[in-house]
Amino acid sequence: MSPALEVRLIALRELRRNVRSLKGIAIGVITLLGAFISALVCVSIEGADRARALHENEAYAELKRQAVEHVTGDAALAVYVASAPSSLLSFLKITIWLAPLLIALSGFDSIAGELQNRTVRYWTVRTRRSSYFAGKLLGLWAVVALVMLVIHVLADGVALARGYVTVGQLFAWSTRFWLVGVLIAGAWAAIATLVSASFRAPVVALMTTFVVFFALWLCGAVAFASRTIKTVETTIASAAQPGLDHANTVIAAPPWYEYLYPNAYDSMLLSPDAGKALTAAVVLVGFVGAVMVVGSALFQRRDV
């Protein structure tokens, strides 16, 4: 068989295994339930914000623009995102935030479990080891993409039922949000697969995955805090200059280690600047490809 056919075979098997297994069904039910509750919360928040904007005689889109610009410091992004339904935008943030947990629980035993039970030997004598690793990674990515598609459809239905979004807006924004979530999830899936292939005991793989994910989250949290502090300091220094009547908010550049955190790319992927969005997509897909090459090379030398 060709390598592409081998990868396809392993990926489809991984997809079927997660969909049909008891663990996959349980995770799916819990995820859908959580997504439905989150969608209701996001829609309720949007309703409250719309009511507040009407009460204060302020444009709802302007309130959203100011909020996004305050967090990201990107005026162009704030104007662009302000036209999106805030319930769907909030749901995207929740999805991106919880995606690592879903991936860790779904993929920690993808390779470690078969190493423990020695069932991996059935596949490594029939397919290339590189194809096996790539198929496992792409299969996990496909599972997460499918789950994200289902929960986005669920959230979209709630927002549409409340009249907060039209069918045209729903298709345009929901597709963009889903692609953003899938691209970021690919990086997490690559890390989880690499960790799973490094251990024979699934429990150890699960704990290690959580530790690695937490370390990456910590990089993002520290970077965000550092950027916020520098922004405040720069703004205060700007206000202290002679001839200025008010503080000019100057957003500090993010430190390099912020980009170690996959979720940090969400603003770039949502940017109206096609070059910036494409750069973020290339970085994330390139990272998945790099992990695939490194993971395949390491797995090639592993005793199975």
pLDDT computed for residue 245 by the predictor: 46
> Which residue bears the tokens 């997660």?
18
Give the CA angle between residues 95, 97, 102 to the nearest 5°. 70
Cα→Cα distances 10→44, 61, 142, 186, 250, Å: 42, 46, 12, 17, 50
Highest mean pLDDT among 82-91, 93-102, 157-166, 250-259: 93-102
What amino acid is encoded at 9 in this protein? L
Confidence of residue 246 (pLDDT cuts 50, 70, 90): very low
* Nearest one of 200, 173, 191, 2 to 116, comparing CA atoms: 200
Choice between 15 and 194, residue whose per-residue pLDDT is larger: 194
Q: What is the pLDDT of residues 261-278, one digit of tens each?
A: 999 898 889 888 888 899
What amino acid is encoded at 30 in this protein? I
Confidence of residue 233 (pLDDT cuts 50, 70, 90): low
Give the CA angle between residues 95, 231, 245 to the nearest 5°. 130
Q: What is the pLDDT of residues 57-91, one digit of tens each?
A: 456 666 666 666 666 666 677 777 777 777 778 88
Choice between 38 and 116, residue whose per-residue pLDDT is larger: 116
Instruction: Note the pTM of the prediction, 2 decimals.
Output: 0.85
Cα→Cα distances 125→67, 199, 241, Å: 56, 20, 71
Q: What is the pLDDT of residues 182-207, one digit of tens each?
A: 999 999 999 999 999 999 899 999 99
Mean pLDDT for all residues in the chain: 81
118 CB neighbour count, 10 Å cutoff: 10
